[in-house]
Chains A and B, each alone.
Chain A
């Protein structure tokens, strides 16, 4: 049973560019959450998708957007990249859209913005 998979694992972009990160949830999971983790910090909640809609959003600007597909996979898009967007982006899936249950994380996509 495959767990949460994310792609790409590493990528380098320059300021002003756009990036798309992808996530496939654990089999049977219908809720996907995205987190940003800066070096030495804890994960910060970006947003959550359930039934192809954004259900919850953290304190991130509109440059961060997402999508969930009918097969529950998800994308995170970041426009107009800033140096401060450099971080590990983690996708997590769960069976629980209420935000109280266990999260299953992927290995993350490490984004470096130059």
Chain B
């Protein structure tokens, strides 16, 4: 079963708007990561937030983590057409004993020019 589940499954916005994606997970974690995937390509790491952090910024990206609710959000500000991609959260196996990242099913973001 998926450890992380993203919401919404799909999101369509206009260029310049902000995009917010949410991720919920089930077990304890050491950290949570967000990845981006252009259609049919490999995944690219965006940002990692540790379990003792509540918020982290990287350029136009802002990630929050609420370990009490087992949830995270990714905010992309001032979106661009080039941000069109699928976005995945990934959790480590601290709560499962598995030493591997587990990915959610992703949010497909479409940014209209």
A residues sitting closer than 8 Å to B (CB atoms) are 4, 33, 35, 41-45, 48, 55-56, 58, 88, 90, 92, 97-100, 102-108, 110
User: What is the size, in residues, of chain B's interface with A at 8 Å between Cβ atoms?
Assistant: 27
A35, A45, A88 interface centre (most CB from chain B within 10 Å) = A45
**Cβ–Cβ contact B40 & A103, under 8 A:** no
- Given the interface pairs A56-B98, A102-B48, the reply to whether A108 lies near B103 with Cβ below 8 Å is no
Q: State the main secondary structure of chain B at its contact with A.
A: loop
Contacts of A108 in B (CB 8 A): 40-42
Q: A90, B99: Cβ atoms under 8 Å?
A: no
Q: Which of B2, B93, B100 contacts A33 (CB 8 A)?
A: B100
Give the most central of A4, A88, A90, A105: most B CB within 10 Å.
A105
